[in-house]
Structures are given as structure tokens and as C-alpha cells.
Structure 1
Amino acid sequence: METTLSSPHGVSFGRLAPGLGVQDINRSLQFYCGVLGFNKVFENGNPVGFVILKKDKAELHLSQNKNHKASLNNVAHLMVEDATVLYEHCTTHNVRIIKALRDAEFGLRCFVLADPDGNRIDIGQVLPNPGGTA
């Protein structure tokens, strides 16, 4: 259920891209680009310590922090067309799965994965029959 409130400031918002801390940019690029299929569209630093990744409508910002410690909470939520296909792809590529694929009562087929640094990403697909299976 989406709640719409009138804007107290009248400013329209554009994209919102989560920023993730990672210990090793190159290892993270292998995961996000090599496994998940993102493309690097920007990098900064020498050596590189910040990158912007894009795939379709999704955007992700990675910042290298050698002391990064992952949260026990999900840090991003990614909506996809087919959660089952992505889940199978991830398991084939030995991606760490935190929560297995399931059809949730709130109308999503979903699972949670962890990147090489332990950052948890919640993956969801809207089910055509909320509260049931596809």
C-alpha cells in the first residue's frame, strides 16, 4: 500500500542510489559486474576508491573502506523482473544467500543475498497474485 503525502517543500525527487562501503573495489567489481551484470559508468581516485555502477534502472555507488564492516540489516532493495532466475544464477555462482527464495505474504517473491563484503541486498519481484504464488 503506497501512501502519498503532500510535499512540505514542493521539490520533486529524482533517482536515489544506495552507497555501499566495500573493503576491496576490485573484488566488488568482479561480483557486481561479473556476477550481477552491472556496468561501471564512473570511477574516481588514484587508486580508484569510488565507482558508480548501473544496470537498467538500478544504480549503486561503491566506496572503498579497508575497515568496512557489514551491517546485519539489508542495505539495499532491488526489484527485478524474475527473482527465480536471478536466485538460480546466484546459487550457480556461489553467491552467499542469507534468506532463501520464497513467496512472501506481502506480495513479493524474494530472497536476500550478501556481496563479498557481507552487504545484504534484498531482491524482490512483485507477484501477480499478492498473497499467493505466481
Structure 2
Amino acid sequence: MTEKSVATIRYGRLAPCLEVSDIQAAHHFYCSVLGFQKVFENGLPVGFMVLKKDDAELHLSWKRNHQASTTNVAHLFVDDVAALYQHCQQAGVRIIRSLAGKDYGQDAFVFADPDGNRIDVGQRRI
């Protein structure tokens, strides 16, 4: 086998994996509130799930005693952050940081899922 440098290796998608204490509640939240669809599950009872919407993919992994981090665990880029922010507010999603323009060229907000996992949502300003 020929050795390649890391610079020549093409990377594919990278999907965050969130630990959740109730995988069915997480599935319901991400699908009914945020519009994801389940494309894969594994285990009996289900211990792993893959959700997808457009180019975004999210993996859920059941962990009985999950404790959420106090930092963002994933970043989601969207094409209309203001509309998603308003939708999340109307759906009663817990907002950690309100929608604001950031000095690094994005408009962004942070929400928490039912397990307290913090997701940073942003849109690049043109």
C-alpha cells in the first residue's frame, strides 16, 4: 500500500454524534421541531440513530446517565437563521443565546435540545 500525505486525502462528511438520555424524545424533537428525518437506527432497544435534513446529518447515541455539556456540541449552518430562530421560539425550544450579529461575520443563536445539548445555529453574512 502506498503511503499518502494527509494533504492528499479527501475527507467526506463529518457528522456530530450527540449523547442523549432518551433517544425517542430526541428523535421526536429533531424530527417534529427541526424537520429532520430518521434514515437509520440500530439496536433493540434502539441505541443509535441517524437523522438527516438536506446536507445536515446528526447521529444520536443513547446514554442512560447523559449529562449535557455547558458548551456548544454542534454547529449548524442554515440559509435563513432568522426564520429558524423565530420557529424555535414559537415551538418553545429553550434558547440559550438570542439571535445576534457576531463579529466573525455570522448571525447566530444557540438552543438546547431536550437533553440540554447546545446547538449553535448560524448564517454567514454576505
TM-score over 0.5 (shorter chain):
yes
How far the C-alpha of 1:86 sits from its partner, in A, is: 0.2
How far the C-alpha of 1:66 sits from its partner, in A, is: 1.1
Counting only pairs closer than 5 Å after superposition, residues 1-134 of structure 1 correspond to structure 2 as 8=6, 10-128=8-126
Hey, what does 1:4 align to over in structure 2?
none
Q: Determine helix, strand or coil for the equivalent of 2:8.
A: coil
Q: Deviations over 1:73-101 (max 9, x none)?
A: 10000000000000000000100000000
How far the C-alpha of 1:9 sits from its partner, in A, is: 5.3
Number of residues paired by the alignment?
Answer: 122
Q: Determine helix, strand or coil for the equivalent of 2:52.
A: strand
The Cα RMSD (Å) is 0.9
The sequence identity of aligned pairs, in percent, is: 58
Any unmatched runs of 5+ in structure 1? Answer: 1-6, 129-134
Whole-Å separation in 1 of the counterparts to 2:71 and 2:8 = 32
TM-score normalised to structure 2 length: 0.94
Whole-Å separation in 2 of the counterparts to 1:31 and 1:105 = 31
How far the C-alpha of 1:10 sits from its partner, in A, is: 2.4
TM-score normalised to structure 1 length: 0.88
Q: Deviations over 1:32-83 (max 9, x none)?
A: 0000000000000011110000000000000011100000110000000000
Q: Return structure 1 stretches of 4+ with deviation > 2 angstroms.
A: 7-10
AA aligned to 2:117 is N
